[in-house]
Structures are given as structure tokens and as C-alpha cells.
Structure 1
Amino acid sequence: MKSNFLFLFAFSTILSSAQPNTEVFLFDLNSKNGNFQLSNFKNISDNQGYDNQPSFMDDGTILYVGTRNGQTDIIQYDIKNDSKTWICNTEGGEYSPLKIPNQQAVSAIRLDPDGKQRLYKYDLKNNINTIIFDTLVVGYQVWFDKNTIISSVLEADFMSLYLSDLKTGQNKKITPHVGRSLHRIPNSNLISFISKNADGTSEIKSFNPKTSQITTIATTLPNVEDMCWLPDGSILMAKKDMIFKLNPKTKSGWKEIASLKPYGITKLSRLTVSPDGKKLAIVGELENQKLAAKLENIRWISGNWKGEAFGGQTEENWSEPSGGSMMATFKLIENNNVVFYEIEIIREVENTLILQLKHFGNDLKGWEEKDKTIDFPLKEITENKVVFEGMVFEKISTNEMNIYVDIKQDDGRIETVKFNYKK
């Protein structure tokens, strides 16, 4: 009993106290014909604190937990509209959210202020939450169907795999010493789980809820237990800044297929693929807060921005990254008249970025000579700042940024002018 209490206390402490500053990243994924290509990188959580445990509700919606007011709550993220909705307002912290089959509802594990850890249902229609069952201390869960849950349950100093029938209320213990990664295996009636061996190794196994048959699929990467399935039946795991793939039908073993180091992402853990196989959501940390010189890492600059400067109104329109560049138009308006225009580009050149611009009068006559541009070499990129030599973009929020521009005065002094922009 003492060891069970200590384990539950330790588990609760992990959930409720100091946690790593993880983020949830989203990529477009092309895995057709044996390919594995990632593109359109986006930090969808973009939040200080613990953001983790993503799962797809459908091809266009992701659930995950994020830090808010010192605790973790469930977020519903709309991919198309790049919008977030908090779907619970309880006093407890929520973890491991999953869509409940055939219902407009989500299940999640709640750790309440009184220390109780129970599995809850959150109805998305009427904003009511109810206990699914409280006879087991569930750590992680997956739905087999709308009446059957497979879960990793806290027992003593380990977790055991359980099958729970919501119709009968029966809970059946399947096997001890399992991990947190539970998944439906594509195109089958099987569940995968991680089995932990006494020698420190772990195996991916399948479980048939109808027959209770357990079959070994493969050995995991060393010291890794987070995995997901591709629609074609391949398995993904991640370690450090690398993503690995295994085809259970062959004996070729784990293969490195992608590195997130160019994006400045490391300490990869949980990962999940959309039902159609076209999106990958993965959890990691930004390394040293300095990001690689990639346009994808400054995508947040894109959009229509308006502000005030030089005694007038300013406007910049930045495009999304495409063709190795981002493009912008700028104009300054005073007394309802355009003073001047700019065309700006940021492009990838020899593993770095450079910002270049040209000025034009209100009659579109150029200020610079035909082949001349004003260039701003890149110095560094962090999570919320892009520093060029002479121009800095600072992210305040999703809809606000500051731009600082060094402008040489007639007497030779350099004056830094601040542009505050809002979308």
C-alpha cells in the first residue's frame, strides 16, 4: 500500500508541478510511395509552459493540453482557421484528451485539487463534464469503440493494461508493466501497447479486445516509448531530434527518416498522424530558443499589418513562405496621400536568410538605382524575434508585432525607429 501511494504521489507531481517547456508542432506530411517529407512547419501551441499530448479529432482538428493559469486544460485547435478553443473550465488539470467515438465529446484524465485522478467525459455540445469511471486510476487511455476503453492503470510502482466495458461496468486486467503509448492499429481490430521488460528493453505488442490475444510486433527504440501508426501500417518513433520509421512487415529495423534539427526542435516525445496521413503533430522543445535560418521559422510574420509611424499610417502585407522567399509591400500614408512604397523580400540564400528592399515614390519611381537593393543580413532567429542587421521583427502576440529599423540621419547618427503593427 505504501509503494502504491508513493507511485501515485510521484505521478501526480509530474502532472501538476514543474514541467518542461514543451510545444506542439504541426507539419504537412507526404508519406506516399514510401516517401517521408515534412513541410509547412508551425508551432501551434506557441505558449510558455507545458503543451503536450496531441491527438486528432479528425483531419482538420487537433486536441492537446496547454498551460493556462498554472494548470493544464484542453485545447481544440482548428487547422484551417489557425484558431484555438479552450474546451474545459474545471478546477482540476486535464491530460490525454481523446475524441470519443460517435459522439461530440472528449475523454480526458482529470487531476483534481483534492488529489483524485479520474477519467472524465467532456460534452462539446452542452459543456457538461461527467465521470466515466472512478474505480481505476487511469494514466492513459484509448477507445476501442464507444463502449470499450483500453487503459494504462496505475498500480504499485508500475502501470497495467486494463480493458473496461462501460455497458457492464466490468474492468479486466490484461497484463502488467506497460507504457503510456496506446493506439488503434490501422485497418484492424487491434490495439497496440508498449510492454516493458525486466531487462530495461520494451516491445510494441498488439492486443485483441475480442479474444484477449497478445502478439509481439517489434522492439522499440532504446529508452523510447512514444509511437504512432501511419495509415499504411508503418510505425513512427522519435528520439532527440530524429524521427524513425519501422515497417513491421519487413525485418529491416528502425530507419532514420527525418531530422527536426533544422527547425531548432529537440527532445521529441509524443507524436501523432492525422487519419488521412497528411498531417503530423509532434511534441518537442525549442533548442536554446534559437531557431534555424528557415522561412518556416518566421512564418508568423505573414499577414496584413497596420500601424502608425512618421506621423502617418503604415501598412505591410507579408506573404506566406513559398518558392524559397516571403514578399511584402509597404506604404506610408500622410493626410490621405501615399508618401512612398517599399517592396521587401526575405529569401533563403546559402543556409541563411537575407532581407532586401527597394523604395518607390508615390508615382512608383524607384529611389535606388536599377540593380541596387538595401540588404539586411540575418543575425539570429528566436521563438519570438527575428534579428536582421539593421532591422528586428518582434512577436508580441499572434496579432501584434513590433519592427525596429535603424535609420541613418543626415548628421551620421543611427536612429532606431519602432513600428507597432496589429493585424
Structure 2
Amino acid sequence: MKKLFTLFCLSLFTLSFAQPNTEVFLFDLNTEKGVFELSNFKNISNNEGYDNQPSFLNNHTILYAGTRKGQTDIVKYNTKYDSSIYVNHTEGSEYSPLKIPGEKAASAIRLEKDGKQALYKYNLRNGESELLIEDIIIGYHVWHNEKILISSVLEDSKLALYSTNLEQKKNYKFHSNIGRSLHKIPNTDLVSFINKEDDSVWKIHSVNPTTGDTKAIVATLPKAEDMCWLPNGTILVGHENKLYTFTPNKSVDWVEVATLDTYNITNITRVSVSPDGKKLAVVGELGKTKIIEESSNKPLEPKLENIAWIAGNWKGEAFGGQTEENWSQPSGGSMMATFKLIKDGKISFYEIEIIREIENTLILQLKHFNSELKGWESKDDTVDFPLKEITKNKVVFEGMTFERISDKEMNVYVDMHKKDGTVEVIKFNYLKD
């Protein structure tokens, strides 16, 4: 009976987060030379319902729990292409997705429709899942390494701190009353957690995942527990609509570094920073700014007139040389471009590119030529990029994306397939004459 009651409480505990209409926002972050600067605001979830718990898979990919068809599933978002896909297709709901160290997989909490909750592993390629831990009811977790998991476990309607050794299949309890926020502390073998033993003063503590030794770091802001660590060892906390920092052994008190009033973001519930510290994901509730974001991300018809901003003479640098790309205005149902790469004062290669209207969509096609205009592809072959989506400032083909930064600047992202089967995304930054 006690176990059934515990499961029931945990279901309520988890599902209570589904009530707010939260969004996942992304910023570029600059913390060089002591500054804290946010730019390039974007609503990456842009979805009715609960979107929360972002974590960075790498510097360019974010995992988060996103709502669809009345449940939450794992979403994988690519920052370069501004594109999202759902990873899994289970009947239950998934929460708190995190990369598993050393694997092309993520772990997440699955809440089944019957109330059962357990930690699962998800293959990021095909979404297949397998049970990882079920003997303790995990609400939140963080990986210390491939073998040790630190988690917040529901016990007696509160969260307890546990360490699990997956090789030994043993769980070790370290603390009785903690918060949901668990994070690896940069450049250490420690993990941080929120100690809530004294309800009047919550404190950020460190814990050694193998010995259980804990140490106080700093008291939180009043009732604030949504935090992460910057790569330089500074703590970042979101509280209401503001961001604060504290650097252990340096700071005297919390310092307000940003207010999100400008973006109409309130009630911050998560913050997460990319491994290189250059991107910040924030979860909160959105005001009227949502109207602006939806307008800029609204899909447009696959018509050349909607991508006419690509036309012009563009110059930039890539592959260690200078690039030049000349796009014509739309005419005769197509746009045409010539491309060349100059390296060490010599032509490396040329391209001829076209974007044409075909069967109510667009397709980008190109051919490569060497410095003597000898074709790389055979006579009738082209390299084709079917259209995926057009928005106000972006044209996304399968393998190539054009992004308008301003009337005089754009980025082009190209997938480069390597011999080992991996794909590298090359960015071309262009300025228009």
C-alpha cells in the first residue's frame, strides 16, 4: 500500500510541471572579459503546452521534453539548422533527457499512463529504449560518468539524494531532503545539489559521488533552485525573470547579470549552458513576444519570391581562402548562382547552382568544376538538395541552409560527408557588396 501511495504522489509531483505553458528559449552567450551578454534570442520550442528541461547534447544540439498530442516526448533541436525532431515514440511521457556519457544515447524519466515511473535509455538514432533503473523512483538525475548516476529520488513525498553504481547495480543514499537541480561541477569530480534541510535557507552543496562527502558552497537566493554551472566554474541561477551569478571563492554575494523583461520571459524554471559556454537555454513563460517569434518562424509557400533576398554578390571566407557567390534575381522559374573558392591566389574550384520551382516545391541543384572547368560530377549528374522549409529569414534544404542575418549579411550551412560516415557542418558567413 505504501509503494502504491508513493507512486501516486510521484505522478502528481511530475505532472504538476505540465500545467504551465512553458517555452524553451535560446540565446548566444558572451562571458569574455567579465561581461555577461545575451544576444540572438530565439524561441526554439514555440509550442502550446509544456516544453522544459533542456540539456545540451553538444555545442549545437539541445535535448528537451516537449509536448505533442497530450504527452511529452524527447525533442532534439539543432541550433545550426533551427530544426527539431522527436526522438522517441512511446505511449508514456518522457522528462529530463540527458546525454549518456560515451554513448549515442540519452537517458530520460518515463512516466507511464498507469503511473509507473522509471529511468530509461533511448537510442538517439532510432528512438529504441531500454530500462535502466526501476528499483528507485527517480525524479531528476545527472551522470557523473558512464558507471555512476546521481539522482533525486522520491521518498516520503520529498526528494532524497542517491548515487547508483550501474555495474554493481547498487544504490547508495546520501541525503534526505534536496531539490531537483543536479549538476556536475566543472573541473572537479563533484556534483552539486540543493540542500533543503533548513526550509528557511536553501544551500547549494557539493557531493563526492563515490564517498558521499558533502560540503556547503553558498546559500541560494530565496526559494531559487534553477541553476547550472558555466564552464569557468561560475554558478548561474534563474529567479523570476532575472539571471544571477556567483563564483565560489571569489564572489561575496549573488550578482544580477541580466533581466529578461526585454523578451517578456517570466517564471524561469530551468537554465542550461552549452559545453563551450557560448549558448544559453532558458525555460520560462512567455508574454507578448511570442507573437513576434511566431511571425518570424511561420512557414512560407515554396515560391522563389519568398527567397529573393538571397540574390546579390556575396563574399566571405571558408576552407582557408576567399569565397564569392553571385545569385541572380528570380526569373523564368529559377535563380542561378556561380561560386568560386580562391586559395593562395589560385582558384580551387567552381560551382554552378540553381534553385528552381518544380511540382509545387523548390529544389537546389549544383555541379562542381575544377580550376580548368573540368566537371567533378558525370555529364548528367547533379548534387540535389530538396526543400524542407521556408520562413521569413531562412531557407532550409536537405543538406544546405541559407539564413538571413540582415539585408547585407547571411550565413550558409552545408553538410560535408566524410569518409568515416560522419557529417561536418561547414558555415559560410557572407557579406553583400
TM-score w.r.t. structure 1 length?
0.70
Closer/same/farther in 2, CA of residues 105 and 290 from structure 1, 3 Å limit: closer
| Corresponding residue of 1:13 | 12
Which moved further from structure 2: 239-248 or 198-207? Answer: 198-207
Tell me the secondary structure at the aligned position of residue 145 of structure 1.
coil
| Corresponding residue of 1:300 | 297
* Alignment partners' CA distance in 2, 1:290 and 1:218: 34
* Alignment partners' CA distance in 2, 1:46 and 1:195: 34
Which moved further from structure 2: 135-144 or 119-128? Answer: 119-128
* Alignment partners' CA distance in 2, 1:306 and 1:398: 8
Query: 1:66 touches 1:73 (CA, 8 Å); kept in 2?
Result: yes
| Corresponding residue of 2:269 | 269
* Alignment partners' CA distance in 1, 2:242 and 2:62: 22
| Corresponding residue of 1:79 | 79
Which moved further from structure 2: 157-166 or 190-199? Answer: 190-199
* Alignment partners' CA distance in 1, 2:21 and 2:389: 19
Structure 1 residue 209, shift from structure 2 partner = 1.7
Closer/same/farther in 2, CA of residues 142 and 82 from structure 1, 3 Å limit: same
* Alignment partners' CA distance in 1, 2:240 and 2:45: 20
Which moved further from structure 2: 248-257 or 120-129? Answer: 120-129
Closer/same/farther in 2, CA of residues 332 and 60 from structure 1, 3 Å limit: closer
* Alignment partners' CA distance in 1, 2:44 and 2:34: 27
Query: 2:9 touches 2:157 (CA, 8 Å); kept in 1?
Result: no
Are 1:176 and 2:176 counterparts? Answer: yes
Query: 1:264 touches 1:292 (CA, 8 Å); kept in 2?
Result: no
Q: Deviations over 1:119-150 (max 9, x none)?
A: 00112245321110110000000001111100
* Alignment partners' CA distance in 2, 1:254 and 1:299: 36
| Corresponding residue of 2:118 | 118
| Corresponding residue of 1:379 | none
* Alignment partners' CA distance in 2, 1:23 and 1:214: 34
Which moved further from structure 2: 174-183 or 118-127? Answer: 118-127
Closer/same/farther in 2, CA of residues 398 and 215 from structure 1, 3 Å limit: farther
> Any residues of structure 2 matched to 1:251-262 within 5 Å, and which?
251-262=251-262
Q: Equivalent pairs: percent with the same residue? A: 48
> Any residues of structure 2 matched to 1:7-406 within 5 Å, and which?
8-16=7-15, 18-287=18-287, 289-290=288-289, 299-300=296-297, 314-315=305-306, 317=308, 399=390
Closer/same/farther in 2, CA of residues 42 and 55 from structure 1, 3 Å limit: same
| Corresponding residue of 1:404 | none
Query: 1:246 touches 1:254 (CA, 8 Å); kept in 2?
Result: yes
| Corresponding residue of 1:417 | none
* Alignment partners' CA distance in 2, 1:398 and 1:267: 32
Tell me the secondary structure at the aligned position of residue 270 of structure 1.
strand
Tell me the amino acid that sits aligned with residue 206 of structure 1.
Answer: S
Structure 1 residue 241, shift from structure 2 partner = 1.1
* Alignment partners' CA distance in 2, 1:41 and 1:398: 21
Tell me the amino acid that sits aligned with residue 176 of structure 2.
Answer: P
Tell me the secondary structure at the aligned position of residue 33 of structure 1.
helix
TM-score w.r.t. structure 2 length?
0.69
Closer/same/farther in 2, CA of residues 101 and 279 from structure 1, 3 Å limit: same
CA RMSD of aligned residues (A): 3.0
Gaps of 5+ in 1: 308-312, 320-330, 337-396, 402-423
* Alignment partners' CA distance in 1, 2:229 and 2:76: 22
